[in-house]
Structure 1
């Protein structure tokens, strides 16, 4: 099964959330997450005043942007004073550590947020590993008596139990997890309590991933103790608690309305891709947060030749996969997709991408901008200047002079509607812009479009129907004697001519075309029984 997704939160935030609910079991974390420049520039005077340990104790400094294997990649500095931490940060970029994580062509500075916390002296033998992650039908718990940087392939080493989603974690499962790893009965009892409460918290707070590596057991002096190990003083006792040294956590962002009080006053989501967004990406992200539809923009390589603004994330990913198999992925300049945008919103997305295209020329050969939609006849909408088509035309008309000067060509991929072989469907309104424009139907392979966009071929691909390879198969419901190897025996058939379909979360225009096509072929009622659309609950 595949793991369920989620959004990564900062390590400082993750430790704070655990302590908020499990303060009786874990040590209070003294950690802060700061921007690198504020640490180096010494502008965090208020923080230094609040956290006096920064000047009094040895500390740990490490990136806090959801990056894994930081220790193995040399991205953690241990047991230094504040001056040593500042010096290490100044040398951080010079040592080229960032190149292990993000291509140097990626715009924006790669790692900006860092975690500072007191260094906890301990033996490596004390380190333990624990993790929970969600799959489609169960939550998986991993425990290993050894932890730390050199843990290796933990999936093959750790004890593992799977807890079905609708069932609680029982004693038998905890015993199975610990019996072969922890021999001492008293230690096993304390760990059992910790695991059961942590697992319940994992579900209550809608975590999708939680990894603690490493954690150790600390002995603390306290005035009021729940777990007494020994006592030498009537007013102070020794208490045993879990010390979380390193944590990686993901939360289900869709549960924010349910858990906003349980998570914390403000959840600190990590920055994507281990780098800071450039201003154009921030602009699109801000628009995406307020629009009814969806728009995304991630710049991959500003010197790339092919830029794309495509309707639907699946098409964008298919383009990237195709270019990867063609060994030309470095020519893909951006990942950009849109869904259900009005004219003004698509205008903003397209002008932002065009602005980036015009910033830097590549060898005077010009670039290619690919626009397309799998659900809408985008060419007709441009011709009629209706809906999102009006936004596309307005953006192209505004930048036509600069596009011509930069020798930028436009490739339109329209999956809906008929595209003639000789590009006769190009509207005169677009042709008059003076930009090289080519329109292709959905039957033209993306590989051919990529070759043409990258000028590996001078002739545009033909819109003629492609040859298809058909396998003669019997009609649905044919007797087993006629089915041969192409279908199951009649008693084992899953789908029949009377099967009905429930469409869930599909784009309405795309679904309408499928319904029309189905009715046209069947000459009777459609196979689609109903349409269901899930809407996100509005926050207070």
Structure 2
């Protein structure tokens, strides 16, 4: 899966919207997100739709994909609008150190303060064959120390949650047990409908009416499912934004590919994992990209994988050329003589013209052929689909023409066989001298 983490604000807004749409359950989840470019909290509190800010005490916390905010003195409780506004202004764009990672705090979430006496834990995780629901009657910041109290239940894929008995998950002595069970079922329905990979509420509590209320929430979706439910991934009327992990800024190449992706009907994705990695992947198709990356990791070489990404949706020659040039610029950077590998992989295309997209890649090979040689890169190609024979032959021809090492295969070999070849190459090929 291409797992994408969501901000807490986005997770809660998705839950609120779709629990109402799917389950007719209305969650009283009022929240405001504050960023460096948004109006101040005081200004937002004057808007008609945000009058609740003036009628209740508030909670303020960073919304930056890191946990243990309370333990790091980054949470304000039981605050007025003025106090919350001052808290945010004092910390906005200030650098903090969380577990050795440093970054500026740029997003805050502001919510009503909910007095409570009980804290529960729940999560749903997508595993290979089942979705696993976990619940504990002891939640909050000490959940790790109380993990022995967590009860789990596996739900096989395709099984209707309404037909599953969740009573073993929630102990009989739990307050509002039936309400909690109903809540978990409805959260599960949203989990499935929106292709979440992970939902965690630590903690959730009971509101003044005895109904479950998530105080803290994390979520991840499977980006590969955007084709079927991407239209539902909207927050405040805008497409869902996937933030970068805390402390990590985009590489210029990632920004460039993002810009290319926005201007084309095709799909061009790039995430740099390890700039000094020795295995790089230029993969056609979102599903194939996951398979290739997982195979590299399964064979014990995830630490050498330079990137994760894909080109798909039948990109034209020019877009493919720009994408391939970006990849080669990364893969050939700072040569040290040690062997490297570039995987040009993919499954068997349904409608993408393999020969046409390979033209763009071949143009990039010609532009970077000196860098390819200097970086000691061996190229492994495997592809099938429309016009794949001529595309593969063109790859062989450019290898001979430029005298760069390219091994070319079609659908006669398993899709991931070239991963083993790439790993064998970086382990056994001789280093080369690098001239200044």
Give TM-score, length-normalised by structure 2. 0.67
SS at match of 1:173: coil
Give the match for residue 38 of structure 1.
37
Give the direction of change, closer, same or farther, for the CA distance of 1:154–1:309 in structure 2 (3 Å limit).
farther
Aligned pairs for 1:320-359 (under 5 A) are 324=301, 329=303, 332-338=305-311, 343-356=317-330
SS at match of 1:126: coil
Give the match for residue 249 of structure 1.
219
Deviations, residues 230-254 of structure 1 (Å, cap 9, x unaligned): xxxxxxxxx4443321112345663
**Aligned equivalents of 1:341, 1:308: Cα separation in 2:** 17
Q: Are 1:213 and 2:202 counterparts?
A: yes
Give the match for residue 240 of structure 2.
268
Give the match for residue 299 of structure 1.
272
SS at match of 1:191: helix
Give the match for residue 80 of structure 2.
none
**Aligned equivalents of 1:345, 1:160: Cα separation in 2:** 47
**Bigger radius of gyration:** 1
Give the match for residue 151 of structure 1.
143
**Aligned equivalents of 2:240, 2:186: Cα separation in 1:** 23
Give the match for residue 59 of structure 1.
59
Unpaired runs of 5+ in structure 2? 78-82, 385-393, 409-416
Give the match for residue 422 of structure 2.
446
Give the match for residue 188 of structure 1.
177
Give TM-score, length-normalised by structure 1. 0.56
Give the match for residue 227 of structure 1.
none
Unpaired runs of 5+ in structure 1? 105-109, 220-238, 418-424, 459-540
**Kept after mapping to 1: 8 A contact 2:282/2:342:** yes
Give the match for residue 392 of structure 1.
361
Q: Are 1:117 and 2:114 counterparts?
A: no
Number of residue equivalences: 391
- Which among 117, 124, 129 is matched to residue 132 of structure 1? 124
Give the match for residue 85 of structure 1.
88
SS at match of 2:405: strand
How many Å apart are 1:370 and its aligned residue? Answer: 2.4
Deviations, residues 357-389 of structure 1 (Å, cap 9, x unaligned): 67x6467x699562534669xxxx9xxx95333
**Kept after mapping to 2: 8 A contact 1:370/1:411:** yes
**Kept after mapping to 2: 8 A contact 1:64/1:113:** yes
**Aligned equivalents of 1:205, 1:429: Cα separation in 2:** 44
**Kept after mapping to 2: 8 A contact 1:63/1:76:** no
Give the direction of change, closer, same or farther, for the CA distance of 1:166–1:302 in structure 2 (3 Å limit).
closer
How many Å apart are 1:173 and its aligned residue? Answer: 2.1
Q: Are 1:284 and 2:257 counterparts?
A: yes
**Kept after mapping to 2: 8 A contact 1:7/1:250:** yes
SS at match of 1:395: helix
Give the direction of change, closer, same or farther, for the CA distance of 1:142–1:249 in structure 2 (3 Å limit).
same
**Aligned equivalents of 2:232, 2:43: Cα separation in 1:** 26
Give the match for residue 224 of structure 1.
none
Aligned pairs for 1:495-510 (under 5 A) are none
**Kept after mapping to 1: 8 A contact 2:342/2:422:** no
Give the match for residue 10 of structure 1.
7
**Kept after mapping to 2: 8 A contact 1:323/1:450:** no
